[in-house]
């Protein structure tokens, strides 16, 4: 039966993603486009059902029903998300910027029984000790893959039964394992159930009044929670279509938006800044976009984007864990993130006592006057939707400080520093522990330190974040050189290039050489002192200059960081209204 072409399904009350996928059956409108490929909603449902049936055939008895997906944004990605939903399985998004043993670790840690990839990513897997045998590595652009799927083509989604030994999907069924980085140095896989994903999609579909003729442009990587939770899920809940871009391209953004009729997009990190760096044109407002939703655009770039493209960006705060969320409302003042999402009881508290801290006092220019008493850790004292980490009870307990007695037990502790103004709006003030966020990727300093510790001239290494002038952080490393050693930039570049597990976001933007690393009274590295000094320090500093083009890696070349470089860089911070971050 044909489905109405304008009515939204956002209010249908679907409790599982599987129900939303099943609702696509019989809907012959275009549901997904990528380049010259177009699939109807009906074909998406049928394709998901075929892959769910294949999964049931290939899944070893007793194995966890986890599918690792190592793909760019291609139609196979949403097809496998739908397949997992129908089968009651879970997708582990595998990050293609990871390398070597760390990539193998991600696949093994999430107990992937099946790995779905494409030819372009096969070199990443070459020589790795994978836990998935070759017969269960599916290459979607290989003819053998089509042969495996052929017997199941045309399978209706209602005809898909639960996996052997499993029950039909419920709201509590695992749907996603989203990698995020924490202070331990090893990425953690946050759990997301079908119920949480369906609810998040429906909530955003209502918030943005998603229509069935809308098109959500997915240009952020789908291994990242942003694209799935904030892009794919609300499109599925609202009955809208999606348009896929393999990888983000600033120059292709507007042509894609016009080509696909995109009305909504999501972003993270510096994506908005890259879009603004493209040459302005008289037809910049000639497009169908209505909404942009994401994080870290910054107030300056958000205002510039609205002025140039005529699209208001809605900033939010949240994580793949789902433990806390903030939304920007029309009355949110400049510099603030927003107010809590419905159902969250957020507070800024002392990380030791759990006591709520005083509200911030701001001067007429918006500068914080009482940071010492107002800045604390953001917690959610309400029920939240944190579902834990896969096979990591210690990290799960740390997020909630256990369930026993003690300050803040049972709350969700974000690990992020905030302050709250008199109007109740929350402002981001930094991150606790040793986490960094580079180009929307969460990294752990300890992991990078373990790699840089192999550098022979270094007797000691400390890695820490310095604020990026536009969004997120940049990596800075302090190297304590061995006696008689000197920093050779060419040698350091060669060293970085030879490290198989150095991800594309991990190379330091700044390198500081010191006689010895500063330590606290307990002989721990004094990271606070290093972060406060940043690149404005007396010791020699080398750097990879910031580049305007996305994807240009740090670590390609290092040169001395001069006084002229510092002055020009500080001007960029002031231009983006982020100079205050250097003082915290």
Q: Are 362 and 399 in contact (CB under 8 A)?
A: no
Q: Note whether 177 and 76 are same-domain residues.
A: yes
Q: Note whether 419 and 488 are same-domain residues.
A: no
Pairing of strands 458-467, 473-481: antiparallel
Q: Note whether 189 and 98 are same-domain residues.
A: yes
Q: Note whether 539 and 390 are same-domain residues.
A: no
Indicate whether 55 belongs to any domain: yes
Q: Is 301 helix (H, G, I), strand (E, B) or coil?
A: helix
Indicate whether 41 belongs to any domain: yes
Q: Note whether 39 and 76 are same-domain residues.
A: yes
**Burial tier of 526 (Cβ tally within 10 Å: 0-12, 13-18, 19+):** middle
Indicate whether 239 belongs to any domain: no
**Pairwise pLDDT comparison (439 vs 88), residue with the higher score:** 88
Give the mean pLDDT of 140-144: 97
What pLDDT shows up at residue 286?
Answer: 98
CATH of the domain at 548: 3.30.300.30
Indicate whether 79 belongs to any domain: yes
Among 383, 401, 431, the domain boundary falls at 431
Q: Which residues pair with 377 in a beta bridge?
A: 349, 417
What pLDDT shows up at residue 549?
Answer: 46
Residue of 489, 441, 438, 487 lying closest to 465 (CA atoms) = 438
Indicate whether 237 belongs to any domain: no
The average confidence (pLDDT) of the chain is 89
Q: Note whether 383 and 521 are same-domain residues.
A: no
> 42: domain range?
17-202
Indicate whether 317 belongs to any domain: no
Among 147, 170, 202, the domain boundary falls at 202
Indicate whether 267 belongs to any domain: no
What pLDDT shows up at residue 3?
Answer: 34
Q: Answer whether residue 505 shows pLDDT above 50.
A: yes
Number of domains in the chain: 3
Indicate whether 389 belongs to any domain: yes
Residue of 266, 274, 380, 360 lying closest to 315 (CA atoms) = 266
pLDDT category of residue 142 using cuts at 50, 70 and 90: very high
What pLDDT shows up at residue 315?
Answer: 84
Q: Note whether 393 and 484 are same-domain residues.
A: no
What are the tens digits of pLDDT across the range 252-279? 999 999 999 999 999 987 789 889 989 9
Q: Note whether 423 and 465 are same-domain residues.
A: no
What are the tens digits of pLDDT across the range 564-582? 999 999 999 999 888 888 8
Q: Note whether 63 and 185 are same-domain residues.
A: yes
Return the percentage of the chain with pLDDT > 70, whole number.
92
Q: Note whether 400 and 485 are same-domain residues.
A: no
**Pairwise pLDDT comparison (67 vs 342), residue with the higher score:** 67
Q: Answer whether residue 8 shows pLDDT above 60.
A: no
Q: Answer whether residue 445 shows pLDDT above 50.
A: yes
Among 187, 202, 217, the domain boundary falls at 202
Give the mean pLDDT of 169-196: 84
What pLDDT shows up at residue 322?
Answer: 87
What pLDDT shows up at residue 7?
Answer: 39
Strand ranges (E), 209-334:
215-218, 241-244, 264-267, 291-294, 313-317, 326-327
Return the percentage of the chain with pLDDT > 90, whole number.
64
What pLDDT shows up at residue 284?
Answer: 98
CATH of the domain at 362: 2.30.38.10
With helix as H, strand as E and coil as C, how does 516-555 read?
Answer: CCCECCCCCECHHHHHHHCCCCCCCEEECCCCCCCCCCCC
Q: Note whether 72 and 177 are same-domain residues.
A: yes
Strand ranges (E), 285-390:
291-294, 313-317, 326-327, 339-340, 346-349, 376-380
CATH of the domain at 91: 3.40.50.980
Q: Note whether 457 and 547 are same-domain residues.
A: yes
Q: Are 221 and 73 in contact (CB under 8 A)?
A: yes
pLDDT category of residue 523 using cuts at 50, 70 and 90: low
Per-position b or e across 55-66, b if 16+ CB within 10 A of its CB: bbeebeeeebbb
Strand ranges (E), 225-270:
241-244, 264-267
């Amino acid at each position: 039966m044909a489905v109405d072409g304008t009515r939204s399904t956002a209010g249908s009350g679907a409790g599982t993603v599987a129900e939303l996928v099943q609702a696509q059956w019989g809907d012959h409108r275009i549901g997904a486009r990528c380049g010259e490929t177009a699939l109807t909603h009906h074909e998406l449902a049928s394709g998901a059902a075929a892959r769910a049936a294949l999964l049931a055939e290939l899944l070893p008895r007793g194995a966890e029903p986890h599918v690792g997906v190592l793909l760019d944004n291609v139609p196979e990605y949403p097809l496998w998300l739908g397949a997992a939903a129908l089968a009651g399985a879970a997708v582990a998004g595998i990050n293609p910027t990871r390398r070597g043993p760390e990539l193998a670790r991600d696949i093994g840690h999430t107990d992937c029984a099946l790995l779905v990839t494409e030819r372009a990513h096969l070199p990443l897997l070459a020589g790795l000790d994978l836990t998935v045998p070759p017969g269960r590595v599916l290459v979607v652009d290989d003819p053998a893959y089509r042969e495996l799927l052929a017997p199941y083509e045309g399978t209706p989604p209602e005809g898909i039964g639960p996996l052997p030994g499993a029950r039909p999907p419920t709201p509590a069924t695992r749907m996603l394992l989203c990698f995020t980085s924490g202070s331990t140095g090893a990425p953690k896989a946050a759990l997301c159930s079908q119920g949480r994903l369906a609810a998040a999609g429906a909530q955003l579909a209502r918030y943005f009044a998603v229509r069935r003729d809308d098109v959500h442009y997915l240009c952020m990587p789908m291994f990242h929670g942003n694209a799935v939770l904030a892009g794919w899920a609300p499109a599925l809940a609202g009955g809208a279509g999606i348009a896929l871009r393999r990888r983000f391209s600033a120059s292709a953004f507007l042509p894609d938006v016009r080509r696909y009729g995109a009305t909504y997009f999501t972003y993270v990190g510096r994506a908005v800044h890259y879009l603004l760096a493209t040459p302005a044109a008289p037809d910049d407002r000639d497009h169908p976009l209505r909404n942009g939703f994401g994080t870290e655009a910054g107030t300056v770039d958000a205002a510039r984007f609205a002025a140039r493209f005529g699209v208001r960006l809605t900033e939010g705060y949240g994580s793949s864990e789902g433990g806390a969320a903030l939304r920007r409302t029309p009355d949110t003042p400049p510099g603030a993130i927003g107010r809590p999402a419905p159902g969250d009881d957020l507070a800024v508290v002392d990380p030791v006592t759990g006591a709520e801290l005083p509200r911030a006092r701001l001067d007429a220019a918006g500068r914080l006057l009482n940071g010492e008493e107002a800045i604390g850790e953001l917690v959610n004292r309400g029920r939240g939707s944190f579902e834990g980490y896969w096979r990591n009870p210690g990290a799960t307990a740390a997020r909630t400080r256990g369930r026993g007695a003690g300050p803040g037990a049972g709350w969700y502790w974000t690990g992020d520093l905030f302050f709250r103004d008199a109007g109740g709006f929350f402002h981001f003030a930094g991150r606790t522990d040793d986490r960094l966020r580079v180009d929307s990727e969460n990294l752990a300093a300890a992991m990078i330190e373990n790699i840089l510790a192999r550098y022979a001239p270094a007797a000691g290494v400390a890695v820490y974040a310095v604020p990026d002038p536009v969004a997120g952080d940049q990596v800075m490393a302090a190297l304590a050189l061995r006696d008689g050693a000197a920093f050779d930039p060419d040698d350091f570049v060669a060293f970085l290039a030879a490290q198989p597990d150095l991800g594309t976001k991990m190379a330091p933007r700044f390198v500081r050489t010191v006689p010895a690393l500063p330590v606290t009274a307990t002989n721990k590295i004094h990271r606070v002192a290093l972060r406060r000094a940043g690149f404005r320090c007396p010791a020699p500093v080398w750097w990879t200059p910031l580049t305007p083009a996305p994807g240009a890696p740090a670590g390609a070349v290092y040169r001395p960081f001069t006084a002229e470089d510092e002055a020009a860089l500080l001007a960029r911070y002031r231009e983006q209204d982020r100079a205050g971050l250097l003082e915290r």
